[in-house]
Structure 1
Amino acid sequence: MTLPDALDALLRDRAARDEPVCLFAYDLAGLRRHVSDVVASLPAPCRMYYAMKANSAGEILAALAPIVAGFEVASGGEIAKVRAADPSAAILFGGPAKTPGEIGAALDADVTRLHVESLLELYRISAAATARGRTVEVLLRVNLAGPFPDATIAMAGRPTQFGIDEADLPAAMAAVTTLPGLRFAGFHLHSLSNNLSAETHLAMLGLYRDTVLAWEKEFGVEVEVLDVGGGIGVDYQDTAHRFDWDAFTRGLTSWVGTLPAHWREIQFECGRYLTAACGTYAVEVLDVKRNHGVAWALVRGGTHHFRLPVSWQHSHPFTVFAVDRWDPEAPRPSVTDDRVTVAGELCTPKDVLARDVPVAAVRAGDVLVFELAGAYGWDISHHDFLSHPHPEHVFLGQGT
């Protein structure tokens, strides 16, 4: 059964039940195909790690574990989730505010590498490593001065909580090359999020290369690993507009040819680009009404399940799944050839998933299907605000 057929069957089954439809559906077969193609297209020595903050469901992790080089995590809880899905998976541990307890737990879980974000953190990792009689491999995350291309979110080139200020790098290099229990492997330079241009992403990699080559000379070191982050984007407003991955990998192959041989690994840590398209959020329209001239579709769900639209302040794309079933004794409000704003069940005017969207028709009892919901949907949402029931999570294509 194809995904459209499977999703259609799922929605028809749920719409026939008494409880309103409210679910996330994930296409695991499509996810595996997409990520396999991405990984296969990377030139050596590039490797793809999954940034699991995008979607940490155990089924997602298990589907990706045989395909990706490992997982990028940002907490002790994420380390535990990876180990539950794959006890032997490679783990990269980042995050701007690691606790001493998390650092110790990371070493006990045998993480592959830690991404260090401050001078103090170097001392904490050193203490944890020496207490265990260990040596741990680290990358220094540096907040470069820039300038960088435009993207939805900037992680560097401006004041942020991420990484070591480039001006403070000499002190960090002195510490990482002398503190016990540490082995300096290279740098982490994740600077942008949701960049949609292959050309500007390649330009950023060129800046990374030139900067790190200069640092090798300045500090008298040889870099083995360079983490170039993720940051490859998804266009939620124009779903036909996609990051040109083929053009990017062609340019990436040329870029790799300019690197020194001792750079043994280039780490990518993508999240959104890998999982966004595998997820769908489907919610039933509980009511349709007009208020001050605006047509509203009120759904069983909202930003406590799917916070991405309000977080990014956009109208998320959706389609209307028509449901004929209705109680003939009750009125069925609807709008036709009109613009509609979709709001959830929370007692706040900010609970809006889409605003002023043209629709041919939508009725109470129909189901709205939000695409591109596989990344930063459920995982970033305030699930228990107002204590509404959680949505169902359905994983399609588990055995294919």
Structure 2
Amino acid sequence: MDLTHVTRYIAGRDTREPVCAYLYDLDDLRLRTTRLRAALPEQCALYYAVKANSDAPVLRALLGVADGFEVASFGEIERVRGVDAEVPIAFGGPGKTDAELEGALRLGVGLIHVESTLQLSRLDAVARRQGRCADVLLRANPAYGLPGATLQMGGGATQFGIDEALLPDVLAQSRTMPNVRVVGLHVHAGSNSLDADTHLALIDRHIALAKRLRDLHGLTLEWLNVGGGIGIDYQNPERHFDWDRFCHGLAALLRETAPSTRIVFECGRFISAGCGCYVAEVIDLKRNHDKWFAVLRGGTHHFRLPVSWQHNHPFQVLPNDHWDYPFPRPVVERQPVTLCGELCTPKDVLAREVPVDRLRVGDRIAFTMAGAYGWHISHHDFLSHPHPERVFIGGQP
């Protein structure tokens, strides 16, 4: 996000209350998604993982530029259908109730990712009651993981997917179920991959697994969902996943190994992180046991991502020269400062001991790369502090 949007927002406020807001640049979001989609080989589809940021303006902005949406609950299905009645939806998640499965079929979800034999049996029963046949991707928990991933979903004992060794039996069972049709495989091995070549090698393994199941066990391979997992380096925002290099290598790989299979990516953070900024004003500044602390109007109840991922979130100081009080204004110069929130817990930290040139009470902190897994994973009402203002800029097709 261009921080000029933030400075314009601050200048246009008609209150002296400390600044606390999320801003989302939806034009930037559309442009980024369009570029990501254009670089992919023709047989690929780019779905947006709604869990990253499920706000209706974000979903509307992505209509027509993303190929569809990946959801993980019936509530997310309803959010997507609230902005469009027909856009393709893929439904994942390890826990799906009968009511969710019924709702998914009723609302036209095209692909359901099945994560266990029981889930497959329950879906068959639900579809039978509705007189439908559900298209299914079996989610595999492969024998391999994603090297360097921050979160590992595959390659070991987790709650996700079906053990690779059990997939032949599940395929055989699926043929006894007339109301489900297995049309491919879903493999999401891990999150926050930062190296294009490593991720390309992972896709190669996904394709090899799918083809082995096709050749040896009769898997219909119309679709291969390779998950998301492409990351953002919050510690070094200038380091980017090389998407163009990845897509170039992917085109060559698919020509050789899977020319007729529809490949689906379900990216969330990689699409929407850069469109958002969380802005919080410094309301106190103090020194404790030889360390400096800035207390912000805001914190992890609004923006839980940094403490969840245990990183110092990137930020910029936006100076504010206004000072109303007759007493001296606290200031720190050329010192490391810990940026804390207003909660009564020492875990309410957004960046720890980061050097600043100058920081004063009343200055604003703009946390960039906050468009994904920020507001949407946070415990908004802990201690009942006011919510931040949320501003959506642009976004029209």
Shorter-chain TM-score tier: over 0.9
Aligned-pair distance for 1:399? Answer: 4.2
In the other structure, the counterpart of 2:179 is 181
Gaps of 5+ in 1: none
Residue in 1 that maps onto 2:392: 395
Q: How does 1:257-336 map to 2 (within 5 A)?
A: 257-263=255-261, 265-336=262-333
Letter of the aligned partner of 2:339 in structure 1?
V
1:6, distance to aligned residue in structure 2 (A): 2.7
Deviation digits for residues 166-195 of structure 1, max 9, x if unmatched? Answer: 122122111222212101100000102000
Distance 2:338 2:381 in 1: 24
Cα shift readout 1:112-160 (whole Å, capped 9, x = no counterpart): 1100000000011001100000001000001001154221111100111
**Identity fraction in percent:** 50
**Distance apart, 1:352 and its partner CA:** 0.3
Q: Does 2:119 match 1:129?
A: no
1:70-118 CA distance string (max 9 Å, x none): 1000001000000011111111000011111111111111101100000
Residue 227 of structure 2: aligned partner: 229
Residue 334 of structure 2 corresponds to 337
**Whole-Å separation in 2 of the counterparts to 1:261 and 1:247:** 19
Deviation at 1:4, TM superposition (A): 3.6
Could you tell which deviates more after superposition, 342-351 or 170-179? 170-179
Answering whether residue 108 of structure 2 is matched by residue 110 of structure 1, we say yes
Of the three residues 31, 34, 45, the one matched with 2:32 is: 34
Give a deviation string over 1:262-282, Cα, whole Å, max 9, x none: 42x111000000000000000
What is the aligned counterpart of 2:380 among 368, 378, 383?
Answer: 383
* Coordinate RMSD, CA, aligned: 1.3
Distance in 2 (CA, whole Å) between partners of 1:316 and 1:222 is: 44
Contact 2:145 2:152 in 1 (8 A): no
C-alpha distance in structure 2 between counterparts of 1:203 and 1:376, whole Å = 27
Check whether the contact 1:323–1:367 (CA below 8 A) recurs between aligned residues. yes
Q: Report the Cα offset of residue 213 of structure 1.
A: 1.2
Report the AA paired with residue 270 of structure 1: C
Higher mean C-alpha displacement, 142-151 vs 378-387: 142-151
CA distance in structure 1 between the aligned counterparts of 2:289 and 2:21, rounded to whole angstroms: 31
Structure 1 residue 347 and structure 2 residue 344: aligned? Answer: yes
Q: Which amino acid aligns with 1:306?
A: F
Counterpart Cα distance in 1 of 2:385 and 2:221: 50
State which drifts further: 165-174 or 273-282: 165-174
What residue in structure 1 maps to residue 48 of structure 2? 50
Equivalent residues of 1:272, 1:375 under 8 A apart? yes
Quick one: structure 1 residues 67 and 147, their matched pair in 2 at CA, closer, same or farther if it must change by over 3 Å? closer
* Residue number in structure 2 paired with 1:8: 7
Counterpart code for 2:217: F
- Cα shift at 1:261: 4.4
Cα distance in 2, alignment partners of residues 13 and 333 from structure 1 = 26
- Note the residue ranges of structure 2 that are not aligned, 5 or more in a row: none
Distance (whole Å) between structure 1 residues aligned to residue 194 and residue 209 of structure 2: 23
Question: Which letter does structure 2 place at the counterpart of 1:8?
Answer: T
Instruction: Give the whole-Å Cα distance in 2 for the aligned partners of 1:32 and 1:163.
Output: 32
The answer to whether the 8 A contact 1:222-1:262 is kept is no
Q: Specify the code of the residue in structure 2 equivalent to 1:231.
A: G
Deviation of 1:394 (Å): 0.5
* Pair 1:225–1:283, CA change in 2 (3 A): same
Aligned in 2, Cα 1:202/1:260: closer, same or farther, shift over 3 Å? closer
CA distance in 1, matches of 2:116, 2:375: 30
Q: Distance in 1 between matches of 2:52 and 2:115?
A: 21
List per-residue Cα deviations over 1:328-348 (Å, max 9, x = no partner).
Answer: 313311111111001001111
Aligned residues of 2:46 and 2:66 also touching (Cα < 8 A)? yes
Task: Provide the secondary structure at the position in 1 that maps to 2:58.
Answer: helix
Distance 1:300 1:4 in 2: 19
Aligned to 2:256, the other structure's residue is in SS state coil
Q: Does 1:93 align with 2:91?
A: yes
Contact 2:182 / 2:219 at 8 angstroms: preserved in 1? no
| Cα distance in 2 between the residues matched to 1:94 and 1:147 | 19
Secondary structure in structure 2 of the residue aligned to 1:257: helix
CA contact (8 A) 1:122 1:175 kept: no
Corresponding residue of 1:206: 204
CA distance in 1, matches of 2:250, 2:4: 37
Deviations 1:10-34 (A, max 9, x none): 12333x6221100000011111110
TM-score of the aligned structures, taking structure 2 as reference length? 0.98
> Which SS does the other structure have where 2:306 is aligned?
helix
Check conservation: 2:182, 2:220, Cα contact below 8 A. no
Structure 1 segments of 4+ aligned residues over 4 angstroms from their partners = none
> C-alpha distance in 2, partners of 1:147/1:48?
22
AA matched with 2:113 = H
Q: Give the direction of change, closer, same or farther, for the CA distance of 1:328–1:271 in structure 2 (3 Å limit).
A: same
Count how many residue pairs are aligned between Structure 1 and Structure 2.
397
Q: Report the Cα distance in structure 2 between the residues aligned to 1:384 and 1:171, rounded to whole angstroms.
A: 46
> Residues 239-269 of structure 1, C-alpha deviation per residue, up to 9 Å, x if partnerless?
1100001100110110110234442x11100
Q: Match of 1:25, SS?
A: strand
Partner of 1:67: 65
| Secondary structure in structure 2 of the residue aligned to 1:66 | coil
